[in-house]
Structure 1
């Protein structure tokens, strides 16, 4: 098996809330801004977008970089990954009116080395998205968000990432030259 092989992962999280699409979109369009109340930045790296949910806006969360590729006002926003970060693909938020309100779906489609996706990223992504959907529901119901306990495997992965980032930080931006 080649080490350059990649896995295609498609992952969907969704939640229906008793609200209009306009109410839900009002929350989605604030993603990555100072007024963002959906992204669970109390326990995940904050999402930052340099121009909010607008085509061409750049940003990301933690080491994951992407830009806003497409927006259909009130309906969906699509983000494309920066391939320099090792991922090809994107993710999107879509709104769909239902008989009882609005369904917000987040779909991830990414190509990357399989072990990175399934062994490291997917459990973190799943936990983050469930926190985001809990924040959506709390905002719509106008109640405080309640955080569920993170699985031990998620806590271990987060610790590993924090340690790797801390160890690599002193070397970021430095070039190594031979003394001679």
Structure 2
């Protein structure tokens, strides 16, 4: 019985660590100038055609271009340079930030030793260490979907996520790009 309890506890801790290591990705829809009028059969990524970088890292920028093109082609759209029905433009906002965290300095529980000296172990008095500062980056992936005939925005989708490690930045940017594409495809399906 004790072994089953420890396995369940271990599984719970693994799930908890897995959820805490994932940062949320929020998608915001803005700048709707004209309604979506499907079907759109062809597209172009303007960044790729004019050599405009949307990210500070050239590697991430190329990954986003490839990822956008492959994801839209997988959904049946064709890349067309000369007369596309849909024009896609992307950019980013990479904002370095800092966060202060405090740790509880109270090493004793609120019961027990506090009875003898309530001021020393009071949870409301002198129970914080010096703050520790951690750096992270707030990354926004901004994608404009433009109707070529109307020359107006169908929508701007902005995906926002936090990156605490530069090694995982490209992975999180691509996950954010996936969510933006899924959101756009869902909007196309609803408009049909």
Q: Which has the higher helix share?
A: 2
TM-score of the pair, normalised by structure 2: 0.25
TM-score of the pair, normalised by structure 1: 0.26
Structure with larger Rg: 2
